[in-house]
Copies of this chain bind each other. A is one copy, B any other.
């Protein structure tokens, strides 16, 4: 069940006098936090809400970057490819995360939905104008980009220096902490992505991911539950295993 009815929201946003943002339950998590009602109305005027099925490409590496997006529900993956098809997933985005920052007017990665996803779409030009008008939002976006940068550095440590088991434990921990930060329960963890996606995120193969889950399961550290959920037996144990200590 999505946090609010996007179908209705879309209809509303077509009527420019309404402003769905005011009622948006995920606003506090994201770039629109701390905007005044009139500012929110201005924002609502330029955005369009979208509902996208799973496994759909939002945009591809190299595409002209003509919009920013904000995830309001679901999960999106970002990835880069090498010429021979090797893939690196650089992030899984969930409720409250934004995507679409670009460097040379074009996207540096492909964005694809993992689950059914709802998003707010902000046309770049209009968004830039608005950012100039609302320094508060600019600041917020900068702060969120800083957080992403820190997360990227954590991921570099993981990719460059951690073992398969440490990678998997770090991954579960990240999902758990992220869920907690969004007000969901942190255990069991909902893992909507495939083994292949996890592998491409952690710099492993699907086989190694599968084997490592089996090991953790056998050792009693975790157990798989219905509906792609993973129960962490002892959070501290997983935490220690995530850093090799």
Contact B149 A88 (CB under 8 A): no
Chain A positions 25-73 with a Cβ under 8 Å from a chain B Cβ: none
How many Å from the CB of A201 to the closest CB on chain B? 8
* Chain B nearest Cβ from A158, distance in angstroms: 8
30 A-B contact pairs sorted by A residue (CB < 8 Å): A80-B153, A80-B154, A80-B157, A82-B243, A83-B243, A86-B244, A88-B156, A88-B160, A90-B153, A90-B156, A90-B157, A101-B146, A103-B147, A103-B150, A108-B150, A132-B135, A135-B138, A138-B138, A138-B139, A142-B142, A145-B145, A145-B146, A149-B149, A149-B152, A152-B152, A155-B156, A156-B159, A159-B159, A159-B160, A161-B203
Contacts of A78 in B (CB 8 A): 153
Of residues 142 through 193 on chain A, the ones whose CB sits less than 8 Å from some CB of chain B are 142, 145-150, 152-157, 159-162
Q: Which residues of B contact A148 (CB under 8 A)?
A: 149
Annotate A83-102 by CB proximity to B: 1 below 8 A, 0 otherwise: 11011101000000000011
